[in-house]
Amino acid sequence: MTQTASRRAFLRGQFSQRRVMRPLGALAPEAFARACTGCMDCAEACPEGIIITDSDNLPVVDLRLGACTFCGDCLNACETGALDADTPWDWKATVTDDCLSLNGVSCRTCEDQCDEQALRFRLMTGGRAQPIVDPELCRGCGACAAACPAGAVTFTHQDPRPDLQHDGVNPC
């Protein structure tokens, strides 16, 4: 599907409601689809190299590649208004069942990476431990996701509209 066709399909409501992790300051999905030209200036400006192109030729953040420092360079590079400094970064980390610790393998890598101390572990039977993210402390930076050896950290958007509360880490 071409970018124009995919945007048209989006505006006609033919896309699933799965929220995609667009760069810092991204407008709500419909408005972003209208404003973003796919120029990828944001990706070129990102010093962390974590913005890639998705299957719709639009920018998406992949926190498995590295953490976001919230420097704002992507936002400042965007000339179309698709990225707006007033839009909060409403992503929070969640841990999936692929977590090593949850499956009895000793690991605290995510906890070690979290400067906010948003992760803690609840001990379980059988030498297992369940990682728990405190949404009040989590900034959605992705340091845990980038370091996790099992790829077990994903992100959920805290959009108040229920139909948009879906996982958002998978870029393509």
Write out the residues near ligand SF4 by the rule CB under 6 A. Answer: 23, 36-42, 59, 77-78, 80, 82-83, 93, 95, 99-101, 107-110, 113-114, 116, 118-119, 131, 133, 138-144, 148-150, 152-153
Q: Which is nearer to ligand SF4, 20 or 114 (CB)?
A: 114
Token reading at 8: 């048209």
Q: Which is nearer to ligand SF4, 94 or 163 (CB)?
A: 94
Q: Residue 113 is which amino acid? A: Q
Q: Which is nearer to ligand SF4, 29 or 131 (CB)?
A: 131
Q: Are 51 and 41 in contact (CB under 8 A)?
A: no
Q: Which is nearer to ligand SF4, 9 or 77 (CB)?
A: 77
Q: Are 141 and 119 in contact (CB under 8 A)?
A: no
119 - beta bridge partners?
Answer: 133
Tell the smallest beta-carbon distance from residue 61 to ligand SF4 (Å): 11
Tell the smallest beta-carbon distance from residue 71 to ligand SF4 (Å): 15
Give the ranges where the chain is alpha helix by DSSP (H).
3-11, 29-35, 41-45, 73-77, 109-113, 143-147
Q: Are 62 and 54 in contact (CB under 8 A)?
A: no
